[in-house]
Each structure stands twice: as C-alpha cells, then as structure tokens.
Structure 1
Amino acid sequence: MFKRIKNKFIRYIAFGIYFLIVLVCAIQLNFLGLFGYSPTKKDITMPNVNISTELFTADSVLIGRYFDEDRNPVAFDSISKNVINALVATEDVRFYKHSGVDFLGLGSGIISTLTGDKRGASTITQQLAKNLYRTRYNKSVGLLGRIPGIGLIVTKFKEWMTAYKLETRYSKAEIITMYLNTVSFSNNSYGIQTAARRYFSKNASDLSINEAAVLVGMLKGTTMYNPMRNLDKSRERRNVVLLQMQKANYIDQAQVETLSKEPLVLHTDNKDVHAGEDSYLRAAVERWLEKWAEDNDRDIYRDGLKIYTTINSKLQKHAEEAVAKQMEVLQRRLKNAWGDEEPWRDLSGKVIPGFIENLAKKTDYYKYLTKKYDNRTDSIDFYLNQKKQMEIFSWKGERLREKVQMSTMDSIKYYVTMLNTGVMSMDPYSGEIKVWVGGIDHQFFKYDHVNQSKRQAGSTFKPFVYLAALESGMTPCDQVQDKPVTIKIDKGDSIEVWEPKNADWNFSYREMSLRWAMARSVNSITVQLTEKVGADKIAEAAHRVGIESKLNPVPSIGLGPNDVSVFEMVNGYSTMMNEGERLTPILVSRIEDYDGKVIATFKPERKQVVDKQDAWLMTYMLRGGMEEPGGTSQALWEYDLFAKENEIGGKTGTSSEYVDGWYMGVTKDLVTAVWVGCDDRNVHFKNSQTGEGSKTALPIFGLFMEAVYKDKSLGYTQGKFPAPTVEITKKYKCVTPRPFREESLSDSTAVDDGVDLEDIGSGEVIQEEGAETPEGDVDMGALSTEQDVVATKLRDSLDNVG
C-alpha cells in the first residue's frame, strides 16, 4: 500500500500515521493482553474518586470521619488563587496552552532539569490521569509492560492518551480542580481542602501565598518536604516555589524577598482534623452501619456520605467531663486504698501468684522474645524488665498523655490497675441515644464499655425482680419481712443450702413494702420474691424489656450475678420509663449522600411488652431510692439537682468483691447508665467505703445531670415524672412506718446495696449455679476479649526492641 506513494518523505509520514493509529487502537483494545487496561469513555466521564465520609452529631457538629483516603473535595472557586498560581508555575507553566500533552514543555523540561532548574516534564493533566486511573499500577500493565523500558513507554503513552481524553471532556478549571482534590499531601491527607485543614487549620480558599507554596512544594516529595517531619527542607522547597511563581509573573521580586524570609508556621490543632481520629463513638457507629452498608452496597470509607447520629454534642461533652473529673479521683482512691500492696487478689483475698507474669506471657512482645532467644528465660526476663521510654495514658499528663521510662513489666502493672468506665444516656420515648462514652481514652483502651463489655449487674438487676413481682399481681405496698432465708438447691446427688445475707450481714425482721425494700436494696427480700415469682419469670421479664444477654435463672438472679452490658441496662430501664413500650435504641438518625440527598433514615422498632400500669409503678418504685428512708440513691442530695420539685429515680449496684460499680439513673427526660471497674476482674477496690456503686458510679451521674440542668441551651428542665396515662388500680401510696431509726437496720444504708454476690453465701454454690465470680487465676481470655489491656498500648515496648 505504501509503495504506491512515490514521494519517500510522504510515504514515511503516512506509515508513521498508520502505525500510530494501529498502536492507539491496539492499546485501547488491549490487543492480546499486551498493553493492559486503559480508561474508557465512561471512566473519563465518571472519574472514580474516594471521598471520606463525615460523622455528625444531631446538632451538626463534626465528630469523626471514615476514609481509606481522607479527602474532602471542593469546587474551583473554593480554592485560593495562590494555590492555582503556585501549582501552574511549579508543575506545568504552559498548562493553559497545551491539550494534555506538552511536547514543547517536555523538551524544555529536560533541558531545564539538565541546567539545574528542576521542573517535572509531565503536565498537570498527565499527573491527574496517573492519579485517577493508576496507569502505572501492575494491574494496568499488560504483557509488554513487564519488559524493562517497553513498559515505561507503554504506560507513558497511555497517560498521554488519557490526558488528551480529559482535556476534550473537561475545562482547564475542572482539570486543575480534580487534580488538587485527588493529590496526596501526606499524613493521610488527600486533596487541597484536607491538607489546608491539617497543616494550617483553615479552608483551601483562605491559604496565603506562602501556605500555598508550602503545600504545592510538598508535591515534589511528600516525605522529604513534609513540614511536620522536616520543617527546614519544607521551607527551602517553599522558597523554590516562590521563585517559580516569580518567573511565571504571578508575584514580583519584592514579594519573593519578603515572603522567603518569613518563618514557616503550622497550625495543626484544627478540631475537624482530629475528628478523623478514632473514638468510641466513631467505632460504635462503624459497627452499627456494617450490615446497612453491606445490604445497600455502600462503602462508608469511599462514598463521601454524611452520617448524622442521635448524639447531642453538648450532652456528650458534659458526660465526658463528668467521667474525667470522677475517674481521676477514683484512680487515686484505688491506688491509695492498696498502697504498696498488690491489688490482684483471689476470692479469699490472697495475692494471686504469678499474676503479672501470666499477663506478660500473653503479649506479642513475650512471644517475640521467646522466639528470638529460643525460650531462654534469662534473656526474656532481661528485656521484659528493661526500662525504655514510652507514652502512657495518665490523668496527670498533658492531654492525658505522659512520657515515662518504664519496662514492659512495669507497664503491665500500671495498665492492669487502671479503672475504666462506660456511660450511655438515652431518650426513653424516642429511643435516641444522646450520650455514648465507651471508656476513658480510646487510643489506649479500645474496648467499648457501653456495648462490647459485659459485667455483673449487681443490685441494678433487682428492679427486674420487682417488675416480675408486680406482673404476678403484687403491689408496691405489699409487705415482706426482712428475715433470714434458706434456699435448698438440688444438686442431683446432694442438696446444697444457701443462706443469703444482707449487705450489713444483719436482718431487721421488719415488714417492708416492696418499694421500701427495693429502695434500700434488701437482699433477703429480693431473694424471697425470686423464690415466690420464679427465677425463670424474672429472666423472661428482663429479656422482654431489653436484656439480650444469656441469663441463668438461678436463685441469686436478682442479686445480679449475670453479665450484662450498659447498653442493655439502659434499654431495660427505658422500657419501664416508656410506659412498658420497648424501643430499639438508635444511634444514627439519617444518612445523606455526597450531594446532600437523604438516602436512609432510621426509626426505632416499638413493641408493648409491659402493662402500662406496672411500667408506671416501676418508675414510681425507682424514685424510692431518693424518697424512701435509707434509699441507696440519696448521695445525689450532694448535687444541685432538686430545684422545682425535681424527681429522680435510680438504682445502685455493686458486684462481688467491689469489682463492678453501677448506677442507673432516670429523670423525666433521660435514662442513664454508668459502670466503673477495672478491665481485669481480679483487680478491684478493697471495701465498701471506696468501692460500691454509690461511691464510684453514682457521682458520675450526679456531675453529669448537674451540668445538664445548668446548661440552659439544652432545654432539659427539672420537674416531676410524667403522670400515668392509665388508671392505677394497684395500691402504691404506702406509708413507711415511723419513726424510722437507721440503727434498726444496722448500718446498711452506709453500705448501700453491698457486696451482692459475696453476701449470698457460699461462692462455690453460686458458681455451680451459674453466677460468675472472679476466678483465682488470670483469665487472659477475658482480658483479651474485654480489652487487651496489655497488647493495645504496650506495643511501645515491642517497638523499642530490635
């Protein structure tokens, strides 16, 4: 065909054009798999950009992000002109004159590089093509791409083709906007808006010439010129960008001289940036939406969604502040209680031998040392006890951080004695969760103590016994005598006898109304009611109102030996507050797509599970903790909570050996649960004066509600509980016998609800019946499951070893 062309020069040109056409078609079609994937017209029309999802409170405060790449795209007019000028001057000075591939610029770029003026040869459009479509990734390279030299030519040619397609589809403004929204600025910051927030705590539209020069300068090497890591190098690179801007006539020499002398000042404390960091709430919503995302083919890490939670940011802040204030006090109290004694004790109060050593053996660091030193104990012990610098959680440190010299063994001892907490507050009428505090610090303690951790409920479980009693036909005024109780347990080949005791180990022999008995948390009456109603009925009632954990229907069920979560307890108490209608608690109210269109809303499921009369009577009985003589909630009088005849109900709880402290608080608007304890159940308080729920958990509720009522912007007012909406036919206005003398019931008011599981008699009997008690040996399985106290943060030790 080409031989017919007589002019040799034209023949060569025709052959070249023909070859180019064939090559383009072959690359586009990936002929015989030689060239790999090339972006299609659809790819160019709908470029795939991963956008971070943002997490908001109900009052629109940003509290978190989900992302593979932290990116928040902005429009062209939301980018400072300084950034556009710096980018064009440094990366592609002929950007507005070429059509994607600048062959003139390619030649001059090579010459400039050889003369010391380092400027890239690729255009901005080519770089965008590479960023968007990964033309140099292995999966985009065909068989020819594996041949050195040939592969580079093929991928570069594909970049040219893709750049040309981009130029024919988009304007210059759109191309430069896409580029700045996709490029990486290190520290997991993708796009100019995220970078502006992370490094300078401002929007991309507000960046100064120098700030723009810093960020554009990073594009040459995000590690070498990262201002957080290498401030001097970053400043030098900034000044190079300023010179390029002068050459391109964007700024004059006087500006360069002035700007290049300015110090490089970063502002990295932007709260929106830190919202991208992990937190209990962020992790909880992530778990919450796992199934939704799968069912709806959504990716919360890439789709740029806006997720609105039910959390109120001000309530959340008040709860977190209450936790911080009380937990610091409690941590000091726990340390002072034991002094120089070792606090890890078995049920008999004896120190558990080898406790710390057993914990150490469960760490990755120990496994590493065992392998490296072939199980030689002397070498392993040496490194386990070698002190090194590490950052630890500390109530004394700045931002709860403290740098110390500690060995691995020291850090295990330190963390295993650290108290933690879980707090949740919910609107019982809407099912909306308003507060979620999963622990004292998510960076150091990953395990969420609201819905992942389950602990013995202690006496906070008793209201479910009284609910079952009301459902059996009893009334709040029915009388039961506080007296010794003997329970015979058939073990098959033998009969075990259990004689539960009250908190003060005494019995008053008084007739007490159900309301008074629950208010004073009398164990003997709780057990009598359990025997009368049936443990299985109590378990069924608890499950019906919101407890989903397995409950062993043993005689001691009312004293709280079963493990439950803070989340479940809030749900259970909320059902009673909500006239017996059980709501499925919701943490997310709605989800919007990137364009602001609502794509999902969430409402609670509702089911009437308790008779309205019995439910209202239970809220009335919960008020007894404040209103009845010797009620266990009366430490709340210390807080400013009782103006305008405000009514508060609640129940304290303490598990065996003061391991778990609970408080369940109910007001006319909120149901709140607080749990306090160490993650390892073998570490706990020493006695009732320091370790029971009224001393540990109740003050957090008191501080929280005090702050809530003082914050008038929240709209939560003090006042009485809602009146019943149905006729109350059961007698409930019962009179407590007067005069009432505290000594008549010994000092049980001082002991609150006491050591519930210890007080029920033989620990062995209850253990056989299914009530869990702290084990004598270290339960590393529990430690790893509830929260690997060691492994989550003590990896600092491993990082410092070769």
Structure 2
Amino acid sequence: MAKKKTTQSKKETLDFTKYVRWFWILFLCGVAAVILPFLLASWGFLGEMPDYTRLENPETNLATEIISSDDKTLGKFYFDDNRTPIGFEELPKNLVDALIATEDTRFFEHSGIDGRGTLRAFFFLGGRGGASTISQQLSRQLFVGVASRNIFSRLTQKIKEWVLAIKLERQYTKEEIIAMYFNIYDFGNNADGIRSASRIYFNKEPIDLDVKESAMLVGMFKNSSLYNPIPSRNPVGVKNRRNVVLSQMFKYDYITEEVKDSLQKTELDLDFTPETHSQGIATYFREYLRGFMKDWANDEKNRKPDGSKYDLYSDGLKVYTTIDSRMQQYAEDAIAMHMPRLQAEFDNQNTPDRNKTAPFLDLTKAEETKLMNDGMKRGERWRILKNQGKSDKEIKASFEKPTQMRVFKWVDGKASEVDTVMKPIDSMRYYKSFLRPGMMSMDPLTGHVKAWVGGMNYKHFQYDMVKQGKRQVGSTFKPFVYATAIDQLQFSPCDSFPRTQITIEADKYGNPEPWTVKNSDGRYSGKQTLKDALASSTNTVTARLMNEIGPQPVVEMAKKLGITSEILPVPAIALGTPDISIYEMVAAYSTFANKGVYNKPVMVTRIEDKNGTVLYQFKPESKDVLSEEVAYVTVNLMEGVTQAGSGKRLRHNSKWLANSSVYKEVMTGYPYELTNPIAGKTGTTQNQSDGWFMGMVPNLVTGVWVGAEDRAAHFKSIHYGQGASMALPIWGLYMKACYADKTLDVSDGKFDKPSDLKIDIDCEARDEGDIGGSELPEDNIDVDF
C-alpha cells in the first residue's frame, strides 16, 4: 500500500514538473516573441536601419539661407525643402507646451515608448487616442516613412519605429528631440520646419510666436493638409483644431481657463508671407546671388572635404550679404509708390486716340513691325516652340491665337495680377508699354551694397536692370568729363566758359563729321561757371571741356572709376551716349564720395556651411583713382545740382505731377524737404527714353534709372520724360525713409573737405554776364553729326 502511494506521489511530482517546464517554455517563447522582432529590427533583418552615423546626422535637405547685414533672412534657395533648422533655445515656451500637451503629455517621463499609452491604445483599439510618442513620430518621419496599407508591413514599420525611438532617446536629449521634431515637419506652402512655417504664416521668427499662433501650428501636426489655413478649404476645421490644442494646454495647466476661453474666440490672424523665388524682398538681388553662388560652388577651390561640390539647394549653407533689409524695403517701397503714378501718366499720354502706335513714338510701320518681330524671336515662347521643332511660320501664327493668361497690372497704385484672355503678340506690346525701374544703393566707404532693386516685379519682369541692363546714361556721364578736366587742367568750379554754340571739327579725336552741340533750352548767350553749367546741364560747356582735354583721357578716367562697359573715345560721350549699368555708375560715383578711392562693390561678406564653418570670406578690392582734392571739387560741383539745378526739387515739396490729367485731384507732390548736403546729377537721354538720377551723401551713394524695355517707348515731352521726373522721385522717397529710420546711420552731414585744398570753390563773386544755375529743363542727348 505504501509502495503504491509512493509511486502515485512521484507521478504527481513529474506531472507538476512537466507543467512548470511547459509554463517556462511558453513564457520564454512569449518573451522571445516580443523581444525577437525588436532584435531582428535592430539587426536589420526587417529592413535597413540607420547606423549611429545617420542617427547623429539625419539626412534632410536644408535650404541655403540668405542673410542681410542686419541679420534678417532675405530669402532661401531650395528645390523641395524650404528648411532652416533652429535650436531648442529658439523655440518659445508656449510652442513647446502646446506640443507636449497635445502630442505626448508624458514626453519627459518615458524613454521613447509610452507604456501606459501603448496599453491604452491596445485595449481600446485606439478609441481613446494613439500611443505614438514624439520620439516615435520623429523616427517615423526621419527613417521609417509613410505608413503602409499592408498589415504585416505596417506592423514591421511600427516595430522599427519603436526601436528607433529608443535609439533616438539614447542619442539625443529631450530638448534636441523636440527641436528636431519641429524642424522636420512639413507645414505646407513651402513651410518646411517651424522656422519657415512661422515666417510664412505669421511673418515672424518662431521665438516671437504667441500662444494662439503656437496652438495653430501645433494643431497642424495632426494633418497639415487638412488643417492648413492657406488655402483654407476647411476654415472652421482649422480654427477648431487650434482650439483643441488650447483646450489641451488648459487641461494640463499650461494656460488658465480665462486665457483659453478668450483665445478660442479670436480669429487666426494670419500674416501670410510666401517664401518663393519670385516673391518676397530683394528678389532681383537673390537671383544675382544665385549666379554668384553657382560660380562659387563650381570653383574647384571650394569643395567639400570629400571632394564633392556644395549643393546650393540642399546643403544648408548660410550666405551673409551686405544688403540691409530695412534699406532694401525702403527702396522697394519708393519704387512701388512712384512707378504706378508715373505709369498712369504714361498710359494717359498713350491712349489710341493720342498715339496710334502706342506705346511707341516716332516709328514707321516697318520699324514697328521689325521691333515686334525681334521681340518675338528673343522671347521664351519662341525658344520653347523652336526646340519643339516648330517652323517660324507656325510660331508666328501661335502669337495670334487668344490665350488665357495672368498679367501684371497696377491696381489702385499696387502691383497686382489679373486674369485675362489675350493674344501673345498683344501681351508683348502690353508689357512693352510698362516703364521699368532699376536702383542700387552702396556705402562708398566700404563698397557694401545696401539695396538692390532690379525692377518692380520679378515674376513678370525678370530682366535685372541693376547689373544686366545697360542703358545710355545721359548727363550723369558729365561728372566724369568735369573730373578729368579738373584733374588734368586744375579747373575750378568758379571758372567761367561761354554758353555759345560749339562745333568740333571733323577728324578731330576721330570725329567722322563736324559735331555741332546744342543746348536743349536754346540759350547760347553769356557765360557760366562750371558749377552752374553742371547744375543746369549745359551741353555746350561740357563740349568745350571735352574739346580741351580730348575723349581718350575721359574714357581712361571712366575705366579707372570702375566702368567696364565699352566706351568709344569720341567727343559725343561728353553728353552720355555710352550704355552703362547702374551697378557701374554707382561704384564710379562712390569714388568721388570716398575721397578718390574706388571700392569694388561687395555683396557677399562670407559663406558658412550648416555647422557654421566659414567657407568664404570676402577680400576688399580698392584702388586710388583721384586725389582727395579732385574728388572733393567734383563733389562740390555736383552739390550745385541740388542747390540750384534740376535736383533742387529735393529741397521742397515736389509738385511735378501737379498738372497731370490723371492725378491732378489726388496728387499733391512728394514731401522730400531734404536740407542736408546732397551731391547728385540727373540724366535724360535722346527723346526722353531714359531717366537717371545719381545721388550722394557722405556714406551712401544711390543710382536710379527709369525707362521702358524699348527706347521707342517714351514720354513725348521732357516735362515727364526727364530724369528729374522719372528717377529723382524714387531717390527722394528712399532717402526720406532712410532718414526717418533712426536705427540707420545715413549721414546728413557735410562732405569732408581736404585740409590742403588749393582749388578755389568759393564762387560767390561771378563775372558780369554770367548766368546762374537757375532750375532749367534737364538736358537730353542731342548729337548732330
């Protein structure tokens, strides 16, 4: 009996041991089933996993950022990703609070995976919210990608996401993970990352975002397409989503109930500021800079450590420029204020009943046809169709077919786009009817370019009139003649010359025929001092100076002043026949303001890579051109232009449009009323095709040009067609704004006078019969051979 019981006891013990063994087998298998997928994922058996190098340097495309001299972002270069990363310290507390309250309330407590949240999501099948932590979401965006529709693939992705979240938590601090999360997200409308989103939707840096702005941006994490305010296909949803974020912030004690309730009643208050290549500030300068950067990147001296080229659109370079964002804005504002007014008068004078060949003047039908045909062949439409194998006849026929298009138009004094149906040939004529501006502003002491406006709207007028465009400079060339005469013959501003008509003989200086010079006012009696002659832009006096010194020394002087455009050594250059760019003219005039020292214009001071390593540092290029005495005397001559000549209107309220049939009821003039010393020169070319004004104060030289694409499009009379009416107002408005901004240091003092000045500049006592510098009509080029 006892033996039977012993046998039964052993059997029960064996059975229990078997159960225990199976329990541990099943338990260990369960643990292995949980752990093994993570191990397999980390080993790469479930698909490629990033190594620690990629974890330390996630592969994201970073835009190249263009930074102004006052540390503002002017724009960016990018293809797909307009992303500029920022650090955690640049994020406002309310933005971080909104993220934590909405996306991951236990973010600072877990190590990448929220166990409580995962169990909740599992038991309630996601009905009470998901379980993805911020770290998981970041790993998904950086390395895993869009969730697959296949259940097995999706499970595999989730496992990889968990593994990577833990690795990220080990690799980075919590603050770094939050910053990366904000930097990686695509907020739509080219707003890649929080910095772009903040600038595009609210026109401010992230650190300046308030609570409701932060709540809207965090709300977009749920679905940036569905909850995107621009274009708002779901306006109620966008606002409701923002309010959900505000409610979450209240729930977790980040804001009070009173703040929540008040903010939920407010509108979104967007300040939408797109960041595209054709919009924003300094568009023409940015396009110039694109070419500069491409040339820099193509230079074999500027290579990455591995020998490859830097990518302007994805390597996150920082380009520090000399452009001052404030001055750039004032320059663009001045153009935007003046040009629609000038254009309105131009259009008024070119109605079909007033001008049957509008916008062209003085053209025969054959000349007009040739001009339009040449324009067709230079255009993008012709190039594209030619590349498609179309014949000239087919291409010309396409210009006669009405087409839907969006065209530029001044509407109520503002640049706008309007939808219309127009033949391409008519759209060509339409765009040729617009007067266009160009403007550059530079510090003569350093060569730093402060403002660059190549036109009035880059999207519709892409030709840059600062550096690409070259036009006849008219009387703005005359200071080069005067400076050469002063330098070679030591003339004084007080020396007098007859205003009488002068003829320079044939063959002299290579003249093909005798050249008789005329004054536009028709006055030839008496004499004028050089200062008065330049102020009133008297052609005959300038021609007499040219006859004294010859054209070759003037050409050499212009070249030393930085003019690189071709200048023929003929007497007619005295009146400004050469085609020269604004860029060259501003640099040349800056030499006078800088005491005879030429500084090559500087636009880029340095280039850094994404880690802040300096890749390029500019080296100033300067040379002595004139003695300080000659430079000062030339400046003194040009001061007479704003004291008694065509620039005198800068001293009072300009009424230049007072007689305008378009603006006589609303236009009261521009209130310049500048009292500080200003040196300058207006210029007007043949038939009023080009209007110029070059203006200087001791530490700022600015050149302005206005004209149409074709010289045949111009004002009929000099009243509106002179440089003092077309270009000078832009300069005056710009300088007025610069002086009003007390954060700028634009000089309002005198030009420095040399201590050893020997040339007499005191012209109070004039010879009897001299004609003063009364405000005479601006001279235009009038060359008769």
Check whether TM > 0.5: yes
- 1:472-621 equivalences under 5 Å are 472-476=488-492, 477=495, 479=497, 482-488=500-506, 496-504=512-520, 506=522, 508=524, 513-588=529-604, 602=618, 604-621=620-637
SS in 1 for 2:476: helix
Tell me whether 1:125 sits opposite 2:135 in the alignment: yes
SS in 1 for 2:141: helix
Whole-Å Cα distance in 1 between the matches of residues 783 and 694 of structure 2? 22
Q: CA deviation at 1:394?
A: 0.9
**8 Å contact 1:453–1:565 — kept in the other structure?**
yes
SS in 1 for 2:513: strand
Whole-Å Cα distance in 2 between the matches of residues 695 and 261 of structure 1? 51
Q: CA deviation at 1:99?
A: 4.8
Letter in 2 for 1:682: A
**Corresponding residue number in structure 2 for 1:339:** 351
Tell me whether 1:279 sits opposite 2:295 in the alignment: no
**8 Å contact 1:464–1:542 — kept in the other structure?**
yes
Whole-Å Cα distance in 2 between the matches of residues 19 and 382 of structure 1? 71
Q: CA deviation at 1:363?
A: 5.2
**8 Å contact 1:87–1:216 — kept in the other structure?**
no
Higher gyration radius (CA): 2
**8 Å contact 1:245–1:251 — kept in the other structure?**
no
Whole-Å Cα distance in 1 between the matches of residues 161 and 419 of structure 2? 52
**8 Å contact 2:41–2:47 — kept in the other structure?**
no
SS in 1 for 2:571: coil
**Corresponding residue number in structure 2 for 1:41:** 52
Distance 1:84 1:296, change over 3 A: farther
Q: CA deviation at 1:600?
A: 6.8
**8 Å contact 2:441–2:701 — kept in the other structure?**
yes
Structure 2: which 5+ runs fail to align?
1-20, 305-309, 654-670
Which of 649, 667, 679 pairs up with 2:679? 649
Distance 1:396 1:150, change over 3 A: same
**Corresponding residue number in structure 1 for 2:464:** 448
SS in 2 for 1:190: coil
Q: CA deviation at 1:329?
A: 2.6
Tell me whether 1:27 sits opposite 2:44 in the alignment: yes
Whole-Å Cα distance in 2 between the matches of residues 237 and 266 of structure 1? 7
Q: CA deviation at 1:130?
A: 3.6
Which of 46, 66, 88 pairs up with 1:75? 88
**8 Å contact 2:282–2:452 — kept in the other structure?**
no
**Corresponding residue number in structure 2 for 1:140:** none
**Corresponding residue number in structure 1 for 2:779:** 753
Whole-Å Cα distance in 2 between the matches of residues 318 and 214 of structure 1? 32
Distance 1:168 1:224, change over 3 A: same
Which of 689, 694, 697 pairs up with 1:659? 689
Q: CA deviation at 1:352?
A: 0.9
> When the two structures are superposed, what TM-score results if normalisation uses the length of structure 2?
0.75
Whole-Å Cα distance in 2 between the matches of residues 181 and 244 of structure 1? 22
SS in 1 for 2:694: strand
Per-residue CA deviations over 1:628-683 (Å, capped at 9, x if unaligned) read 7xx44444454587887x54332221122211111122334432211111123332
Distance 1:237 1:507, change over 3 A: closer
- 1:89-238 equivalences under 5 Å are 99-100=111-112, 117=127, 123-132=133-142, 134-136=143-145, 159-199=161-201, 214-232=216-234, 235=237, 238=240
Whole-Å Cα distance in 2 between the matches of residues 592 and 363 of structure 1? 37
Whole-Å Cα distance in 1 between the matches of residues 394 and 119 of structure 2? 64
Which of 262, 265, 268 pairs up with 2:267? 265
Name the stretch that deviates more: 219-228 or 586-595: 586-595
**Corresponding residue number in structure 1 for 2:335:** 323
Whole-Å Cα distance in 1 between the matches of residues 415 and 778 of structure 2? 32
**8 Å contact 2:592–2:634 — kept in the other structure?**
yes
Name the stretch that deviates more: 675-684 or 580-589: 580-589
Q: CA deviation at 1:581?
A: 1.0
Distance 1:347 1:603, change over 3 A: farther
Name the stretch that deviates more: 214-223 or 655-664: 214-223
**8 Å contact 2:136–2:162 — kept in the other structure?**
yes
Q: CA deviation at 1:575?
A: 0.8
- Identity over aligned pairs, percent: 31
Structure 1: which 5+ runs fail to align?
29-33, 138-144, 763-802
**8 Å contact 1:83–1:213 — kept in the other structure?**
no
SS in 2 for 1:488: coil
**8 Å contact 1:692–1:752 — kept in the other structure?**
yes
Per-residue CA deviations over 1:724-775 (Å, capped at 9, x if unaligned) read 2434257985964434468xx9xx9744222x1xx2125xxxxxxxxxxxxx
**Corresponding residue number in structure 1 for 2:719:** 689
Which of 700, 713, 723 pairs up with 2:730? 700
Letter in 1 for 2:723: G
**8 Å contact 2:528–2:771 — kept in the other structure?**
no
Whole-Å Cα distance in 2 between the matches of residues 195 and 85 of structure 1? 16
Q: CA deviation at 1:599?
A: 8.0
**8 Å contact 1:184–1:190 — kept in the other structure?**
yes
**Corresponding residue number in structure 2 for 1:400:** 415
Distance 1:190 1:110, change over 3 A: farther
SS in 1 for 2:368: coil
**Corresponding residue number in structure 2 for 1:772:** none
- 1:46-65 equivalences under 5 Å are 46-47=57-58, 55=66, 57-60=68-71, 63-65=74-76
SS in 2 for 1:561: coil
Provide the aligned length of Structure 1 versus Structure 2.
724
**8 Å contact 2:212–2:242 — kept in the other structure?**
no
Distance 1:178 1:18, change over 3 A: closer
Letter in 1 for 2:432: V
Which of 705, 709, 716 pairs up with 1:679? 709
Name the stretch that deviates more: 531-540 or 649-658: 531-540
Letter in 1 for 2:422: S
Letter in 2 for 1:127: Q
Q: CA deviation at 1:73?
A: 2.5
Letter in 2 for 1:484: I
Whole-Å Cα distance in 1 between the matches of residues 293 and 585 of structure 2? 22
